Amino acid sequence: MAQQAGATLDSAAFATLTEPFRRELLAHCYRMLGSVDEAEDLVQETYLRAWRSHGGFEGRSSVRTWLYQIATNACLTAVQRRARRPLPSGLAGPGGDRRSRGHGGLAGKPAAGADR
């Protein structure tokens, strides 16, 4: 069902055209993000972006391909934002903070009983 350039859809027609892909888009986003909650949010974002730009959809690709491209871009943006978000102090991973490893400034001292 190809759309003519500049053609607009009402909300019912848009839903009819795009809703069959929701479950597979959710699986796609989940595979990219590893979180069901985040994947659901990004599928909503995908549908919002698709709705806002559906007038520009020219029909040169399938609706499925178009939605997957939007979903992929939304997920990649979310992953980039997640990587840039700073962690609060004390929440670094296992090797992030020397104090959390139990060294306490005694890294150079031999363990008790090591000379025996």
53 assigned to some structural domain:
yes
pLDDT: is 45 or 101 the higher one? 45
Q: Does 60 reside within a domain?
A: yes
> d(Cα 104, Cα 102) in Å, to the nearest integer?
6
Domain presence at residue 97: no
CA distances from residue 18 to 1, 24, 82, 101, 102 in whole angstroms, order as listed: 11, 11, 28, 51, 54
Q: Is residue 81 part of a domain?
A: yes
Residue 93 lies in a domain: no
| Whole-number pLDDT of residue 1 | 45
pTM given for the model: 0.65
Q: Span 14-31, mean pLDDT?
A: 95
Average pLDDT value over all residues in the chain: 80
Where residue 74 sits, what CATH number does that domain have?
Answer: 1.10.1740.10
The reply to whether 68 falls in a domain is yes
Count structural domains, the chain. Answer: 1
C-alpha distance across the termini of the chain, in Å: 81
pLDDT of residue 109: 55
Answer whether residue 62 is part of any domain.
yes
Q: Is residue 72 part of a domain?
A: yes
If you search the block for the tokens 């892909």, which residue do you land on?
21
Stretch 90-111: mean pLDDT: 57
More confidently predicted of 92 and 108: 92
| Over residues 10-33, mean pLDDT | 94
Quote the domain boundaries for residue 52.
21-85
pLDDT at 106 over 80: no
Give the whole-number percent of the chain exceeding pLDDT 90: 52
Q: Which of 12-16, 44-48, 83-87 has the lowest mean pLDDT?
A: 83-87
